[in-house]
A = this chain, B = another copy of it.
Amino acid sequence: MISHLLQNLQSHGALSPAERSAVAALVTGPARPIRPGTEIVCKGSQPGRCVLLVKGQALRFRMLDDGRRQIMSYPVPGDILDLQGVFMEMDHGVAALTACEVTHISHAAVERTMHDHPGVARALWRMAFTESAIFREWMVGMGRRTARARIAHLFCEQVLRLSAVGLLNRNRVPLPLTQQHLSDSLGLSVVHTNRVLQSLRKEGVISFRGGQLIVIDWEGLKKAGEFDPAYLHMDEALTRLEALATPTPDRVLRMATA
């Protein structure tokens, strides 16, 4: 249950055995199932505990008064959804995108472990700064990239982040987003998102149906998204992706039409 969190914390640098067991000791309760669409973390102050996403995918979002929604990130298994809640009130919510499992970690335990194990504190800081970097990158997209580049960029990012938690299978990742989700992430209307998506499909860059993203032309997708993964700070995980770089043509074709 803790393995994704460990993987996550160690994705920027290894922890010692003592640190690993300290992290493992953070989780005491059982995993709790969450139905898709449920709000897991609400705006406002929280009881004295964090929520750890054990399984499934989630979305971090803010609603505006008249129903507009901005999605800010897509947490993956092993992410602590409200580390912010340890230090201050939450100013946004997190909802389950798919069926999820979550478990709790007390704020006190987080603070104690950070103090007793500086390596764990460092790992949490890196986790937080990486998420910050993702926010900035989305800002760059919404401020300075076309709809097409934004969509391609988000797909690249999700392929990398999901691959880091073992969800990449050949050139496919589970990406259960509706076109409405994409639109609310990227500041677009659903209609426009739909049209851009069609063009990416027609050009043989991706397939995106049934909650699954298939990368048909990784180089083309990176190029369309002006994608440079430096901001994700996932150095070693990147090499894993190179398998994706040059699938054989016939496999590509089978995947595209499957």
Contacts and interface: CB of A to CB of B under 8 A. Distances in A.
A200 interface: no
Contact of A136 (B89, B92, B118, B231): B92
B233 A72 contact: no
B144 A91 contact: no
Interface stretch (A16-24, A120-128, A212-220): A120-128
A230 interface: yes
A131 B88 CA distance: 13
Interface centre among A65, A86, A126, A143 (most CB of B within 10 A): A143
B88 A12 contact: yes
A133 interface: yes
A167 B10 CA distance: 42
Contacts of A186: 143
A119 to B, nearest CB: 11
A99 interface: no
Interface in A125-159: 125-126, 128-133, 135-136, 138-140, 142-144
A230 B134 CA distance: 22
Interface of A: 12, 62, 64-65, 68-70, 72, 84, 86-89, 91-92, 111, 114-115, 118, 121-122, 125-126, 128-133, 135-136, 138-140, 142-144, 184-187, 226, 230-231, 233
